[in-house]
Amino acid sequence: FHDPQGLQEKTEILLREWITLYHSNTAGPGSATAFTHFVKQMNVHGILKTDELITRFFRNCVSYCRDICLRSMNEVQQNQTGGGTPTPTTTSSAVASSQCRNKCFQHVDPFVRLVALLIKHSGEATNPSTKINLLNKVLGLVCGIMMHDIETNNLEFYQLPYHRILMMLFLELNAPEPVLESINLAVLMAFTQTLHLLRPSKCAGFSYAWLEIVSHRVFVGRMLAIAPQQKGWAMYSMLLTDLFRFLAPYLRNAELAKPLTKLYKGTLRVLLVLLHDFPEFLCEYHYGFCDAIPPNCIQMRNLILSAFPRNMRLPDPFTPNLKVDMLPEIAITPKIHCSISSFITPVELRNNLDSYLKNRTPVTFLTELRGYLQNVTPSSGIGVSGSPGEDGMHYNMQSLNALVVYVGMQAIAHIQSKGQTPSMSTIAHSAHMDIFQNLAVDMDTEGRYLFLNAIANQLRYPNSHTHYFSCTLLYLFAEANAEAIQEQITRVLLERLIVNRPHPWGLLITFIELIKNPSYKFWSHEFVKCAPEIEKLFESVARSCM
């Protein structure tokens, strides 16, 4: 703010001049000729003299672009509805809307081109930091102005100009030009940081545009396919987690008004593209995603858990006498890109856990375990902040998820250190299994549901975690001292099986083993016949097994 006298007017005059040059026939390829001429103009007006001045110039340009867009969109709305409330577009209004979009773009795109050219031509080719500093400056301005716009205009906020600036700037800076190669990764990082700042939880009115950018073919290609050594994967997983965190409270209540259904369905489409093109990405980042997705959001979670490496051939789960423990991949430890133990809170719990796993002390550990996992503070993790202790809020899901996986990983390492593989006998009678059995017995229905979900979230493609946790779930079923536990294990599996496809391989083989292996006496339980449609469902699954 507090621009020098006359800067705003000067900016507008200069920007208009640039826009004219940009659209003229003599602009030259990539506006190169126009740019050479215009830089002189900027120098004459002293715009490039100081860092502060060019920042102010850019800020005024962004505001100018925004105002132009708003004006032209408001014109359309006036024409369409005589000033009434906007209605979802019909054909004629869509034409009007696209015409004024073109007008908007004819102002915004030249500005973006100017920014991109200034970035490309700033600093020496060998010193990319000047370029990236300039990019971060502009992106920071767009964020600042947009957030100010949101706070000022609330429901009247209009995402179009910001969407256009960010999208076109990303496309400009990802063109296959040698001058950009040295900053490709830094550009991805800058945009990731910007989109994280503008994440839906902070800028809900920008969510649709945000997801358009994050799932744009060029953005996905750069992030997941082209960036070397998969350096974009961690960045992209952070953005996806931002989206899940925003959706979580609404999905958690399964009350999906149209705007949310739209966003949710859009998210499913993006995940399907990732499942099809980058399954390894979903495999390696599944843990963080499942921490953010609410436990009742079954199909979306199944979609993520169904991913398996493209070079892997999954044996048909219904193969008679399938010997899971003979599969070559079953002993391989899956990659998980986060430090699980850091999610086990409070620290005291983690220390006592390690101590208990090592030498089964403190002996009170098992009796205190549930208390540690109960929510005494507003829940972290799935972004739902209700007051602790409310229904569905008694436990810290993130800590419970981490504890289960952490203990499982320790158990697998322990078993493998003895040259064994997980089986009903090798997983039994261990500190690890004591903890799991204690959780199964000691928890109330809600807590046990979260606990069993934490296990079921590891039932994926053939790997050592799938194997161990499949055995664990079956072991807990077999050793349960109350039918309620067995029923709840069945429910957790069943609710993941009855939803539409896809279904994780590990889930299928666990359930098939449960209903096929007579040692679990599955069919003898009353709950199998609790309702005709449930009984029919079990029988239909059983038939497909036989």
The Cα–Cα gap between 445 and 432 comes to 21
Q: Which residue type is seen at 485?
A: I
How near is the Cβ of 232 to another protein at its closest, in Å? 13
Note whether 493 binds another protein by CB under 8 A: no
Pattern 327-366, another protein, x by CB under 8 A: ----------------------------------------
* Amino acid found at 296: N
Among 57, 206, 285, 451, binds another protein (CB under 8 A): 206
Of 431, 429, 469, nearest to 452 (Cα)? 469
Given a contact cutoff of 8 angstroms between Cβ atoms, the answer to whether 421 and 473 are in contact is no
Minimum gap (Å) between residue 373 Cβ and another protein: 15
CB of 2 vs another protein, minimal distance in Å: 29
Binders of another protein in range 416-455 (CB under 8 A): 445-446, 449-450
Residues numbered 211-230 forming contacts with another protein, rule: CB under 8 A = 211-213, 215-217, 220-221, 224-225
- Quote the least distance from Cβ 179 to another protein, whole Å: 14
State the nearest-atom distance from the C-beta of 100 to another protein, in Å: 11
6-65 residues in contact with another protein (CB under 8 A) are: 25, 29
Q: Beta strands of 380-422 (E only): which ranges?
A: none
- Of 138 and 300, the one with the shorter C-beta distance to another protein is 300
Q: Show the binding pattern over residues 103-132: x = contacts another protein (CB under 8 A), - = does not.
A: --xx--x-----------------------
Which C-beta is closer to another protein: that of 325 or that of 390?
390
Shortest reach from residue 258's CB to another protein, in Å = 7
Judged by CB under 8 A, the residue of 11, 31, 72, 97 near another protein is 97
Residue 51: both structure tokens together:
């860092």
Distances (CA, A) of 448 to 276, 413, 481, 488: 33, 25, 14, 8
What element of type H or E holds 544?
helix 532-545
Residues near 88 by Cβ (< 8 Å), separated by ≥ 6? none
Q: Is 390 in the site for another protein (CB under 8 A)?
A: yes
| Cβ distance to another protein smaller for residue 315 or 392 | 392
Question: Per CB under 8 A, which of residues 278..297 are in contact with another protein?
Answer: 295-296
Within residues 154-193, the interface with another protein by CB under 8 A covers 154-160, 163-164, 167-168, 171, 175-176
The distance of closest approach from Cβ of residue 439 to another protein in the complex, given in angstroms and rounded to an integer, is 15
* Minimum distance of another protein from residue 395's CB (angstroms): 10
First to last CA, the chain: 74
Tell me which residue of 487, 484, 493, 483 sits closest to 453, measured CA to CA.
Answer: 493
CA 161 to chain centre: 25
Q: Could you say which of 28, 123, 140, 266 contacts another protein (CB under 8 A)?
A: 266
Calculate the alpha carbon distances from 396 to 57, 103, 201, 354 in Å: 48, 51, 20, 19
**Which x/- pattern over 496-535 shows residues binding another protein (rule: CB under 8 A)?**
--xxxxx---------------------------------
* Residue number, 245 or 286, with CB nearest to another protein: 245
Q: Residues 6 or more apart from 73 whose CB is under 8 A from it?
A: 97, 100, 104, 158, 160
Task: Check binding of 205 to another protein (CB under 8 A).
Answer: yes
Pairwise CA distance, residues 513 & 319, whole Å: 11
* Phi and psi at residue 25, to the nearest 5°: -65, -20
Amino acid at 68: I
Site for another protein in 234-263 (CB under 8 A): 246, 249-250, 252-255, 257-260, 262-263
Of 148, 270, 151, 169, residue with least CA distance to 216: 270
Among 386, 434, 520, 537, binds another protein (CB under 8 A): 386
Decide whether 257 or 363 has the Cβ nearer to another protein.
257
Residue 13 or residue 179: which is nearer to another protein going by CB?
179
User: What's the DSSP call for residue 518?
Assistant: G
Cβ proximity of 108 and 116 under 8 Å: no
Partners of 258 in the beta sheet? none
